[in-house]
Amino acid sequence: MDENMKIILFFSVFIIFFIPLISAHCPLCTIGAGAAAAGAVWLGVSKIVVGLFIGAFAMSMGMWFSKIPKKQYFLFQKTLIIGIIFLTTVLPLSFIFSSIKPLYIPIGNYGITYAVNYSLVSSFFGGFITFISPELNRKIKEKTEKNFPYQGIILTFILLLLFALIIQFTL
pLDDT reported for residue 22: 45
Contact in structure between 64 and 84 (CB atoms under 8 Å) = no
62-88 pLDDT, tens digit each: 998 899 898 998 899 999 999 999 998
Answer whether 0.75 is exceeded by the pTM: no
- How far apart CA 23 and CA 25 sit, in angstroms, is 7
Chain Cα centroid distance, residue 10: 27
- How far apart CA 48 and CA 146 sit, in angstroms, is 35
Angle (deg, nearest 10), helices 151-170 and 26-43: 30
22-57 pLDDT, tens digit each: 444 456 665 666 676 677 777 888 889 989 988 998
Give 77 or 8, the one with higher predicted confidence. 77
99-156 pLDDT, tens digit each: 889 989 998 888 999 999 999 999 999 999 999 999 999 999 889 887 788 888 899 9
Domain ranges of the chain: 26-170
DSSP structure class, residue 20: P
